[in-house]
Amino acid sequence: MDFIGYRSDALGAAVTLVNAVTAAPREQQPAADQMRAILVDHGYLAGRAPASVEPAVRAWARRLRTLFDATDLDGAAVALNALLADVRVEPHLSNHDDQGWHLHYSPPEADVVARLRSTTAFALAMLVSEYGTDRHGRCAAEGCERVYADTSRNAARRYCSPACANRSAVAAHRARAKAQLRA
């Protein structure tokens, strides 16, 4: 699903950034260009951005986490409104880098961090306004701190990855088998 019609994968970027910054073990040191690499992977033209964007992108990822930690729709709305209050959304058509005409959500002079902030906040707002809290959240696997945004048709995702889903299924199966042995 494309929630905002933008050339970047804003939802994917939001999830990847939150997981890279807030779900990584505290002792793990991030790579120097990790944030820029994530942005490039999700369609942002961040390769030309200076290394100085890294702290701002990390700070934004920590702010985005507040939405994924919200447990109900009212909490999600509060988190999103706080994010949206801190971004400048100024939609306009843009035609750059041979990408054809497409919609931008930040002003023409905005840098990559401003573009990231406006598109991720807007994409998450669209997700929540359309689907409530059913399509995003924290991974349901025991001990996992990662987040997800579900863009599937069936809206059944509750885990950050197939690995976490499989681990949880195996643990549940073993618990049932153990309970049957006791019975």
pLDDT of amino acid 30 = 64
Is 4 part of any domain? no
Percent of the chain with pLDDT over 70: 91
> Cα separations (Å) of 132 from 12, 83, 101, 152?
18, 17, 31, 15
User: Quick check: 117 pLDDT over 90?
Assistant: yes
Q: What is the mean pLDDT of residues 59-85?
A: 96
CATH number, residue 136: 1.10.3300.10
Band the pLDDT of 91: cuts 50, 70, 90: confident
Spatial separation of the C-alpha atoms in residues 58 and 86, rounded to whole Å: 15
Task: Tell me whether residue 91 is in a domain.
Answer: yes
Give the residue, 7 or 96, on which the prediction is more confident. 96
Q: Is residue 66 part of a domain?
A: yes
Domain count, the chain: 1
Q: Are 32 and 26 in contact (CB under 8 A)?
A: no
Residue 79 lies in a domain: yes
Greater confidence (17 vs 151) lies with 17
Q: Which domain holds residue 39?
A: 10-182
Question: CA nearest 160: which of 8, 48, 23?
Answer: 23
* Cα 49 to Cα 70: distance, rounded to the nearest angstrom: 32
Question: Mean pLDDT across the chain, nearest whole number?
Answer: 86
For the chain, counts of helices (H) and of strands (E): 6, 4
Answer whether residue 5 is part of any domain.
no
Does the pLDDT value for residue 113 go beyond 70?
yes
pLDDT, residue 26, reads 63
Question: Is 1 within a domain?
Answer: no
